[in-house]
Structure 1
Amino acid sequence: MSMLEGRRVLLVEDESLVAMLAEDILLDLGCEVVIAMRLEQALRNLQAETFDLAVLDVNLGDARSYPVADKLFERCIPFLFATGYGAAGVEPAYRTVPVMQKPYQKDDLETLLQHLLTCETSQRKTEAGSFGCSCTPHFNGSGRNQIRAD
C-alpha cells in the first residue's frame, strides 16, 4: 500500500484536459481528488473541506494561485506548484516552495508528493515572507528530480 493511498488532494488547475490528466495520475496513485478550476472555487473548497496535500497550477487564467498557497501554509498542508515555466514561473516570495514543471509525469508527481509527506522540516514562512523547506525537490521535466538543500 502506497503512502498516498486514501490521501485527499486539492488539485487546482484551470485547463480541463490538463486537470483530467493530473486527476487520472492522482487516482492511479490511490488519492482522493477534488478539482478546482478557478481561484474562488479553490478557496471555497479549502474552507469547506480537509486536505492532506495540494497541487497548484500557478496561472489560473487572469488570477494566480498564491492566495490558496497562503491558506495552505496557514493550515500546514503540504503543497507544490505546477507550471509549464518551472521555477522561473513562480514569484520570488514563493520560490522555495517545491515546483514541478508541467506536463505532469506520474513518477515525478508521485516522488514529490511522497516527499512532501515525509519531509522532516515542513514548509514555513520566513521573516522575509517566503516559504522554506530544508529539503526542497525540483523537477526539471527530464524525469529526474533534484533535491536542493536550503
Structure 2
Amino acid sequence: MLLVEDESLVAMLAEDMLLDLGCEVVVAMRLDKALAHAQAEDFDLAVLDVNLGDARSYPVADLLLERCTPFLFATGYGQHGLDAAYRTVPVLQKPYQAAPLEHLLVRLLNGEGRDRTAAAGLPPSCRCPATEAAPKQFRADPVR
C-alpha cells in the first residue's frame, strides 16, 4: 500500500490504521518521493492526500492509473476539492477514520468504481477481473 500524506502526524495515524488492517505500508510525504515509489514499486492500493503543501498528488494519480493500481484520494474538501478530471475517483473525507477507510479499500479491492473512471475519460483504475464477494472485514495479505 502506498500512502501519500504530507502531514507527519496525520501520516502516522493513517499508517497505523492501515497496519491494523494488515497492510504493508510505504509512506511518502512529498510529491517527488511519492512519484519515485510509484515508478519503482508495484502496489496493490494507494491512498493519496490531494494537497501536498504547494503541490497536488495528481501526477502520482496519473501514474497509478497507467499502472492499473486502484487508489483513492484523501481530502478535507470532499469531491469538490478535486480537479474535474478526477471527480469520479473515490474520496475519503479527512480526518482519517478507520471504518470509512476500510470500506473504501474493500470497494477498491473488489474493482468497484472502474466504470465511473471510464465514463469520466480516465483509464480504469484496475483492469483486473472482478473478485468474489467482498469479505466482511478487510485484511491485507501481510506477505508480498
Q: Same fold (TM over 0.5)?
A: yes
Q: Greater RCO between the two (CA within 8 Å, min separation 6)?
A: 2
Alignment pair present for 1:39 and 2:31: yes
Shift of 1:129: 4.0
| Cα distance in structure 2, aligned partners of 1:131 and 1:88 | 21
| Unmatched 5+ stretches in structure 1 | 1-8, 134-150
| Cα distance in structure 2, aligned partners of 1:127 and 1:52 | 23
Identity between Structure 1 and Structure 2 (%): 71
Cα gap change, 1:90/1:131 in structure 2, threshold over 3 Å: closer, same or farther? farther
Aligned to 1:26: 18
Please provide the CA RMSD for this pair.
2.0
| Cα distance in structure 2, aligned partners of 1:94 and 1:43 | 18
Higher strand share: 1
CA contact (8 A) 1:78 1:123 kept: no
Aligned to 1:101: 93
SS across alignment from 1:23: helix
- Structure 1's consecutive aligned runs of 4 or more residues displaced over 2 angstroms after TM superposition are 119-133
Q: What is the TM-score with the length of structure 1 in the denominator?
A: 0.77
Shift of 1:24: 0.2
SS across alignment from 2:89: coil
Alignment pair present for 1:72 and 2:64: yes
Alignment of 1:101-120 (within 5 A): 101-119=93-111
Q: What is the TM-score with the length of structure 2 in the denominator?
A: 0.80
Cα gap change, 1:48/1:76 in structure 2, threshold over 3 Å: closer, same or farther? same
Alignment of 1:1-150 (within 5 A): 9-119=1-111, 122=114, 126=118, 129-130=121-122
The count of aligned residue pairs is 125
Amino acid across the alignment from 1:60: L
Higher helix share: 2
Amino acid across the alignment from 2:58: Y
| Cα distance in structure 2, aligned partners of 1:32 and 1:128 | 31
CA contact (8 A) 2:45 2:69 kept: yes
